[in-house]
């Protein structure tokens, strides 16, 4: 491997045609190697057009990346600690446990990456996401948290299947003490059957046990859902319902439609079209599967639009610069909807059912640009909130007096430089985020340029999609391999892998510790 590998990969761009047909959006391109490739970009062209119309880039002139980026950018920096995993499920975007080599980060690698991010001249507030493979089986996981915290990063997260959190009594507590802030918990459905495609017979029980321990340790949990059409697309409404009922322990839900890469990188066309799931599918299916009205054309917004709100917070003089390039995330690749949950009744309603978000976003842009002083910004913001609020459509029990608390809650979630305190009030926001990563069949270079979750490596930073779907992962991991697999097994032994319908041994949780009885799905709030 040499520098030419990087240059050749970066230069391999295929022009594509975007076609609107039968109310859907398709991409068509001809690859010199693989011939004609046709794929679905959106099941609803009107929904997609609306997202594009609401796009709010912070930096419309951002330069396309060419090969690895030396200069940090983005909102959440992903750092892989290992390519090993204690599961062997399908799908797996990075094909864990299938490479002929092991790649383990060292504390020094991670320190160097974090220092580079901290020294970045561009001012940004970064979340750090430790990932893998399964990062919690890395022997340096806790040490990396301490290093990141020592350098000054306040919001440290881990993307995990939850097995170690579920199995070990004090793992969540140790991680919290080391500096962990939040857990992105892989979560594909609300029963063991709905998770069975990942090769573990009691995977939902694992998730419940993990969530309990994460909560007891005072960590935030976000459910991270990989959605594949016809595999678990009928579960998504139940997942949101689960999150609403567990609002005391779930901070947000992140839906990520399946990406055809890693374990799934060469599906037959029919199989790919069958399982392909777009963000428009998601918005429509959530409406169809929910107890409340959740309208695709009223309640969904591009993630970049949250930047408009961030700009207003800047204008209020709260001392935080929120002009993060992360909000440039392409309109068709990152979307969100905000639910307001009544913790008393466990009813949820989309915020935009009683608050005119479209008009508020327009107001926010004007306030941020033209208010001139923090005082004037506050007055204008108050007026905008009042003119866009439709209290007659608000959930019963929500009074004008709750607005201040709600505003502080939303601001706390957006202010990236501050770790928000737990808010115990009756009304809680539940952000539902959706990010559509790309694979070789639907890659859009424009979207790659607007990635918000770069993967940081010894070679610089890569957009998440180009790293995982366009071959960079294999190049970097192979170049920085720690040992051949056989050599690793000889020296370190084999790590445990739960697969082929295995059951993960669990112990029942009690308030004060553990009890040696297998846990069951009875902890499910939906049961």
Which residues are near ligand SF4 by CB under 6 A?
85, 87-89, 92, 94, 96, 132-134, 161, 186
Q: Between residues 105 and 313, which has the closer beta carbon with respect to ligand SF4?
A: 105
Name the token pair of 483: 């040992």
Q: Between residues 371 and 468, which has the closer beta carbon with respect to ligand SF4?
A: 468
Report whether 29 contacts 17 (CB < 8 A).
yes
* Spatial separation of the C-alpha atoms in residues 275 and 177, rounded to whole Å: 41
In whole angstroms, the minimum distance from the beta carbon of 477 to ligand SF4 comes to 13
In whole angstroms, the minimum distance from the beta carbon of 94 to ligand SF4 comes to 6
Residues pairing with 21 in the sheet: 24
In whole angstroms, the minimum distance from the beta carbon of 354 to ligand SF4 comes to 38
Buried b (16+ CB within 10 A) or exposed e, 203-235: bbbbbbbbbbbbbbbebbbbbbbbbbbebbbeb
- Rounded alpha-carbon distances, angstroms, from residue 426 to 245, 291, 401, 430: 13, 20, 12, 13
In whole angstroms, the minimum distance from the beta carbon of 131 to ligand SF4 comes to 8
In whole angstroms, the minimum distance from the beta carbon of 483 to ligand SF4 comes to 19
Q: Between residues 135 and 310, which has the closer beta carbon with respect to ligand SF4?
A: 135
Question: Three-state DSSP class for 335?
Answer: strand
Report whether 10 contacts 449 (CB < 8 A).
no
In whole angstroms, the minimum distance from the beta carbon of 98 to ligand SF4 comes to 9
**Which residue from 189, 258, 416, 201 is spatially nearest to 322, judged by alpha carbons?**
416
Q: Between residues 133 and 237, which has the closer beta carbon with respect to ligand SF4?
A: 133
Q: Between residues 188 and 461, which has the closer beta carbon with respect to ligand SF4?
A: 188
Q: Between residues 132 and 460, which has the closer beta carbon with respect to ligand SF4?
A: 132
* Spatial separation of the C-alpha atoms in residues 368 and 374, rounded to whole Å: 10
Q: Between residues 120 and 256, which has the closer beta carbon with respect to ligand SF4?
A: 256
- The sign of the dihedral angle between the CA atoms of 156, 158, 164, 165 is positive
Question: Three-state DSSP class for 127?
Answer: strand
Report whether 219 contacts 194 (CB < 8 A).
no
Angle at 400 between CA 397 and CA 406, to 5 degrees: 85
In whole angstroms, the minimum distance from the beta carbon of 92 to ligand SF4 comes to 3
Element (H, E) at 515: strand 513-515
In whole angstroms, the minimum distance from the beta carbon of 209 to ligand SF4 comes to 16
Strands of 278-417 (E only): list them: 301-302, 334-342, 347-350
């Amino acid at each position: 491997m040499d520098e030419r590998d990087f240059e050749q990969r970066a230069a391999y761009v295929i022009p594509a045609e975007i076609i609107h047909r039968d109310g859907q959006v398709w991409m068509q391109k001809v690859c010199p190697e693989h011939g004609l490739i046709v794929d679905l970009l959106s099941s609803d062209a009107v929904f997609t057009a609306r997202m594009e119309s609401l796009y709010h880039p912070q930096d419309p002139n951002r330069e396309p990346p060419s090969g690895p980026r030396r200069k940090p950018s983005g909102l959440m920096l992903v750092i892989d600690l290992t390519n090993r995993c204690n599961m062997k499920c399908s799908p797996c975007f990075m094909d864990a446990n299938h490479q002929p080599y092991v790649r383990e980060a060292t504390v020094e690698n991670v320190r160097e990456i974090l220092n580079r991010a901290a020294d970045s001249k561009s001012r940004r507030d970064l979340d750090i996401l430790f990932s893998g493979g399964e990062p919690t089986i890395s022997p340096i996981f806790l040490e990396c948290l301490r290093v990141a915290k020592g350098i000054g990063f306040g919001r440290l997260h881990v993307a995990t299947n939850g097995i170690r959190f579920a199995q070990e009594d004090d793992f969540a507590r140790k991680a919290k003490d080391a500096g962990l802030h939040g857990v992105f918990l892989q979560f594909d459905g609300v029963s063991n059957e709905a998770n069975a495609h990942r090769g573990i017979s009691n995977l939902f029980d694992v998730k419940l046990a993990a969530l309990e321990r994460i909560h007891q340790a005072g960590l935030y949990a976000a459910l991270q859902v990989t959605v594949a059409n016809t595999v678990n697309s009928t579960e998504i409404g139940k997942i949101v319902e689960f999150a609403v009922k567990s609002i005391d322990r779930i901070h947000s839900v992140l839906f990520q439609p399946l990406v055809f890469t890693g374990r799934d990188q060469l599906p037959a066309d029919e199989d790919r079209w069958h399982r392909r799931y777009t963000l428009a599918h998601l918005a429509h299916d959530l409406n169809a599967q929910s107890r409340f009205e959740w309208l695709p054309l009223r309640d969904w917004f591009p993630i970049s639009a949250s930047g408009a709100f961030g700009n207003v917070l800047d204008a209020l003089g709260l001392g935080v610069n929120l002009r993060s390039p992360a909000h440039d995330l392409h309109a068709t690749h990152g979307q969100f909807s905000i639910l307001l949950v009544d913790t008393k009744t466990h009813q949820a309603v989309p915020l935009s059912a009683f608050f005119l978000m479209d008009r508020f976003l327009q107001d926010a842009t004007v306030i941020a640009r033209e208010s001139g002083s923090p005082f004037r910004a506050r007055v204008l913001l108050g007026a905008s909130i009042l003119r866009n609020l439709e209290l007659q459509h608000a959930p019963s029990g929500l009074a004008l007096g709750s607005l201040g608390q709600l505003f502080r809650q939303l601001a706390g979630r957006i202010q990236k430089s501050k770790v928000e305190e737990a808010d115990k009030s009756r009304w809680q926001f539940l952000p539902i985020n959706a990010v559509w990563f790309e694979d070789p069949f639907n890659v859009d270079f424009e979207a790659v340029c607007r990635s918000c979750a770069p993967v940081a490596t010894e070679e610089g930073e890569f957009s998440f999609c180009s790293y995982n779907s366009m071959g960079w992962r294999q190049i970097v991991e192979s170049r920085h391999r720690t040992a051949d697999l056989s050599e690793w097994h000889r020296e370190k032994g084999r790590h445990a892998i739960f697969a082929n319908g295995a059951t993960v041994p669990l112990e029942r949780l009690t308030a004060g510790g553990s009890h040696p009885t297998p846990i069951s799905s009875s902890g499910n709030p939906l049961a």
